[in-house]
A and B are shown apart, each in its own frame.
Chain A
Amino acid sequence: MATSGTDQLSQIETTCGSLLYELQLIWDEVGESDDERDKLILELEQECMEVYRRKVDQANHSRAYLRQAIADAEAELASVCSAMSERPVHLRRQTNQNATSLKKELNIATLQLEEMRKRKSDRLSQFLHVMNQIRKISAEIQPDGQDQNTVNIDESDLSIRKLEEFQRHLEALKKEKADRLTQVLEHISTLTTFCTVLGIDFKQTLMEVHPSLGDAEGSKVVSNEVIERLASVINGLRKVKLQRMQKLQDLATTMLELWNLMDTPIEEQQIFLNVTRNIAASEHEITEANTLSADFLNYIEAEVERLEELKVSKMKDLLLKKKSELEELRHKTHLIENGDNEAEISKEDIEDGAMDPSLLLQRIEDQISCVKEDAFSRKEILERVEKWMSACEEEAWLEEYNRDENRYSAGKGAHLILKRAEKARATAQRIPGIVEALCSKVIAWEKERGTEFTYDGVRLLSMLEDYSYVRHEKEQERRRQRDHKKLQSQIIAEQESLFGSKPSPSKTQNTIKVNRTFTGVASRKLSLGTAALLPTKLDFPCNKETPSTKRGNEFMPASTAEKGAADIGIQAKTLSFNSGNTNVLQSEPPRKPFSVMNRSNEHEEPPREQVSLLAQILPMTPAQLMPTSTPKTPGTVSKPMQMAATPAPIDGVHEVSVTIPKEPHEMEYSFEERRLAFVYQL
């Protein structure tokens, strides 16, 4: 109010005037010089001027300050605005109208500034919020803390655009997180299915991958690492599943094979149905719980092992069965096992199980098929041999029958016997023909095959040859006998005519008869023996046709009686069968030490000369000791000749016939003792 100011000023001026007047009065009173008065008044004015100046300076300062403040405020406002890329609500221009006072300006600016600051801090907090979220989510995604996403807020750019940018980023991260979460959950579910199938504890597995995954409710870490680990665990489990599935299918296949091989009953097979039906399943078809668990697999494996063991034991049985089949076949076709053949499998080999059973089976099967083939080719000849043998039997029967005194007596079944005799005669007639035909067949067969036809180990042709020869000899002998008889009767007739009486025919007949009885007995025994020994046909021709050749045999003396000198040749010829003879014979009596061994035992006892060295006498025939020496050992022949004179020694011959008196007890020697005796003999 100017007026009041003016008033105040005029008041002050009046007061200043009065004060001056008063001062002048004082000076007048004091008598101050004019210089002094001027000086004082100058001082006064100077001081007044100083005071004025100070006040003005102050006012100036405050004005400058105000201006500065405004400038500052405006500057700050500008910066804030630029940071936020916004204009303040009130435009500056508006405030500049009408030359508002500085104070007002400052006010406005301050207000604006306040406003902007507030907005900035709001914005900042928004940013912070977003950034926090981003950081959090990034941490969840990549806990190893890549700093990519934790950008420090650039305070110079707090615009909405930037904020929106961050918000978009945040959204993206959220989405990623959600995606990863779904992925993880997917993996977890796959893992769970695998674990169920494989019988593994899935919670445990999840915990191993990451502790947070085991917790059903809590949030899950979704870092790359976790996802990778999950993926790898799943792959691993898939591999295991495939592996086990493969294994299980293999086991199932083996099981089916074994069942097939051993005809397992259906009930047993049903138990394992769930295994066998999956035998061709593919990976994703097997989803049942615990179908592939370790325990289950072990269980199946144990079952397969059990079946295998069963098979092995059955295998043994099978092998033994096959072996007996083979032996049966061989027996039927009169083939003998080739003892030196390494492929031959003994019962012991089977029992021991030291060799591979399937290999053995293969071998036996091969042998069986070989024998079957052979059997087929030999069939015809074998049939003929049968015929021949039965013909020979009939002939033998016939011979015996012919000797029977009572053969014409009427009795029960006499007509049948007569019929048989007739047939037998006819058969006997045919024998040579049969033999010839058989020979030619065998020769043809041998030519075709390139090998000998063996019958129980002996060449059939040689058997036939010998038989023929012997038969021929027998025929000759018969003829000789007949001639001799004729001669005898002639002599008797002469004598009768000379002396007038017939010597009793019974004497000569008796002697002959006695011999014949022996022969008869012998033959019967022989033919019976033949029958008994037929399985070892080896001996058959010898047994029947050349009883005389049986050395060391109860039949020997009797037969020799019949044959006389002519037998020597026969014996010599048929000695080749001796080894067979002794073999057969020795297998019949109870086994004495050394007696069972084929051939290896025949040489047990040292020759006689050695016996004396040992100061003991052995009971075994010297001749038997050396079958490898030529059969024409005189010793052998002389013995039967000795025996011929006295039929009695039949009993004595029951034991092995001796040229040396027997010892009361038998002496045993070890191989070394024999060898030493031999060594000293040399």
Chain B
Amino acid sequence: MSGASPSGSGRVLSNPPSDGISNLRFSNHSDHLLVSSWDKSVRLYDASANVLKGKFMHGGPVLDCCFHDDSSGFSASADHTVRRYVFSSGKEDILGRHAAPVRCVEYSYATGQVITGSWDKTLKCWDPRGASGPEHALVGTYPQPERVYSLSLVGHRLVVATAGRHVNVYDLRNMSQPEQRRESSLKYQTRCVRCYPNGTGFALSSVEGRVAMEFFDMTDASQSKKYAFKCHRKSEAGRDTVYPVNAIAFHPIYGTFATGGCDGYVNVWDGNNKKRLYQYSKYPSSIAALSFSKDGRLLAVASSYTFEEGDIAHEPDAIFIRSINEVEVKPKPKAIPAAPPS
């Protein structure tokens, strides 16, 4: 724990990866944090204790990671493999392969399957319980219109965002066809897609400093609720500097969400009341990933240059663990004039 960082940014995680951070996730059962990085490693931390508990190497940069349960996890790498780790024993094996770098990995508790999206324009589902070996674990391969850029799950629904602004919504129980084939409401490349914890829709962010709030239900009533808003922009002399929004994370209890952009800011939003609740002080580098702990008390922020300007000198990559105050994340419904105290 270094005291070098401003206390306003949270506690710096010690032994961070030596290169950019592609994603980080809190476990559903504890304050364990899984971090995947461009330095080809997957690291497991205890975020509260600020201790590195395990490190696993890939053949190439690791682009995504997720927990299975508190004792095992999966990772997706640019070396085309999907790997599985058992943290306690340090054992790892390859769950499967794609034909191109694997960009996203998610584990579905509803179906017990691992879902991966790759730049080979396919989505694959794997069964980790099956016999070991990539040949037996694959459940299905589902072609996508373009390279997969982001995935998110909630309940039985899966949202896939690809290049070319395509968005496919699947029902995990019937993967033969997407439930909905959509196009992103935003006009620019999709960066990240995340489903609402209540399962009614998803948030989608683009490289143009905008986030769209969408809903699964295609009725007019629900679709009329959808909207988009600008964020992570800087205005100077009448000109807007617009930053990609790299990460979205929903608070597990309040349903509000945080977004992180290449401007180095993390904003917390109330989607229902369409208000910004809070903005944390600027981080040294672009925000590559965000994750709330299961109890909503902690927010992990990956402040890591995301290569939006190519190969340039940048601030060192770091992971910050913030303790969340309720006031930062709790929604504030529109104020009704309160009765004055007598």
Contacts and interface: CB of A to CB of B under 8 A. Distances in A.
A307 B293 CA distance: 42
Contacts of A673: 119, 147
A302 B20 CA distance: 55
A674 B233 contact: no
Contacts of A600: 241, 243, 262, 308-309
Nearest to B277: A354
A668 B147 CA distance: 10
A594 B238 contact: no
A57 interface: no
A594 B189 CA distance: 9
A461 interface: no
Interface string B162-189: 0110000000000000000000000011
B119 to A, nearest CB: 7
A672 B342 contact: no
Interface in A604-622: 604, 606
Contacts of A668: 163-164, 189
Given A597-B242, A600-B308, A670-B163, A348 B235 contact: yes
Interface in A295-350: 297-298, 301-302, 305-306, 309, 327, 330-331, 336-337, 339, 342, 344, 346-348
A604 B234 contact: no
B117 to A, nearest CB: 12
Contact of B239 (A301, A306, A587): A587
A676 B78 contact: yes
A679 interface: yes
A625 B241 CA distance: 19
A670 B189 contact: yes
A302 B147 CA distance: 58
Interface residues of B, number: 51
Interface in A563-620: 587, 593-594, 596-604, 606
Contacts of B227: none
B337 A306 contact: yes
A580 to B, nearest CB: 13
A654 B101 CA distance: 36
Given A348-B235, A676-B78, A339 B241 contact: yes
Contact of B310 (A297, A344, A604): A604
A671 interface: yes
B227 to A, nearest CB: 15
A330 B237 CA distance: 8
A603 B307 CA distance: 9
Nearest to A593: B188
B63 interface: yes
B149 A670 contact: yes
B197 interface: no
Contacts of B243: 597, 600
Contacts of A301: 340-341
A352 interface: yes
Given A593-B208, A603-B312, A352 B276 contact: yes
B38 interface: yes
A294 B243 CA distance: 54
Contacts of A598: 239, 241
B135 interface: no
A352 B279 CA distance: 10
A302 B337 contact: yes
A678 interface: yes
A348 B163 contact: no
B61 A305 contact: no
Interface in A106-135: none
Interface in A535-587: 587
Interface in B109-131: 119
Contacts of A347: 235
Given A309-B337, A676-B78, A678-B307, A337 B236 contact: yes
| Residue from the set A348, A601, A603 with the largest chain B CB neighbour count within 10 Å | A348
B242 A596 contact: yes
B207 A593 contact: yes
B275 interface: yes
A298 B63 contact: no
A48 B83 CA distance: 161
A601 B208 CA distance: 11
A675 interface: yes
B278 to A, nearest CB: 7
| Size bracket of the A interface | 35 or more
A628 B314 CA distance: 14
Given A593-B208, A597-B241, A305 B340 contact: yes
B341 to A, nearest CB: 8
B307 A671 contact: yes
Nearest to B279: A354
Contacts of A309: 337
B220 interface: no
A599 B309 contact: yes
Contact of B307 (A302, A327, A596, A675): A675
A342 B243 CA distance: 17
Interface in A442-463: 456
A668 B161 CA distance: 14
A347 B341 CA distance: 35
B311 interface: yes
Contacts of B241: 339, 597-598, 600
Given A670-B149, A676-B61, A676-B101, A354 B309 contact: no
Interface in B292-312: 306-312
B152 interface: no
B9 to A, nearest CB: 14
Nearest to A301: B340
A122 to B, nearest CB: 66
Nearest to A599: B309
Contacts of A674: 307, 310
A330 B235 CA distance: 14
| Residue from the set B20, B234, B282 with the largest chain A CB neighbour count within 10 Å | B234
A331 B339 CA distance: 47
A603 B340 contact: no
Given A339-B234, A339-B236, A671 B340 contact: no
A346 B61 contact: no
Contact of B237 (A336, A599, A625): A336
Nearest to B233: A348
Given A339-B234, A628-B312, A675 B20 contact: yes
A331 B236 CA distance: 11
A587 B238 CA distance: 12
A671 B307 CA distance: 6
A597 B236 CA distance: 12
A354 B276 contact: yes
Given A302-B340, A587-B239, A668-B163, A678 B101 contact: no
A99 B279 CA distance: 130
Contacts of A327: 237-238
A354 B278 contact: yes
A298 B237 contact: no
B244 interface: yes
B207 A594 contact: yes
Contacts of A346: 233-235
B309 to A, nearest CB: 4
Contacts of B75: none
Given A337-B237, A673-B147, 9 more contacts: A298-B342, A306-B337, A596-B208, A596-B240, A597-B241, A600-B241, A675-B38, A678-B311, A679-B61
26 contacts: A294-B342, A305-B340, A331-B237, A336-B237, A337-B236, A339-B236, A348-B230, A348-B231, A354-B279, A596-B208, A596-B242, A597-B243, A599-B309, A600-B308, A603-B309, A604-B308, A606-B310, A628-B312, A668-B164, A670-B149, A671-B244, A671-B307, A674-B307, A675-B38, A676-B101, A679-B38
Interface of B: 20, 22, 38, 61, 63, 78, 101, 103, 119, 147, 149, 163-164, 188-189, 191, 207-208, 230-231, 233-244, 262, 275-279, 282, 306-312, 337, 339-342
Counting from the closest, the 5 A-B pairs by CB-CB distance are A603-B310, A301-B340, A675-B307, A337-B236, A603-B309
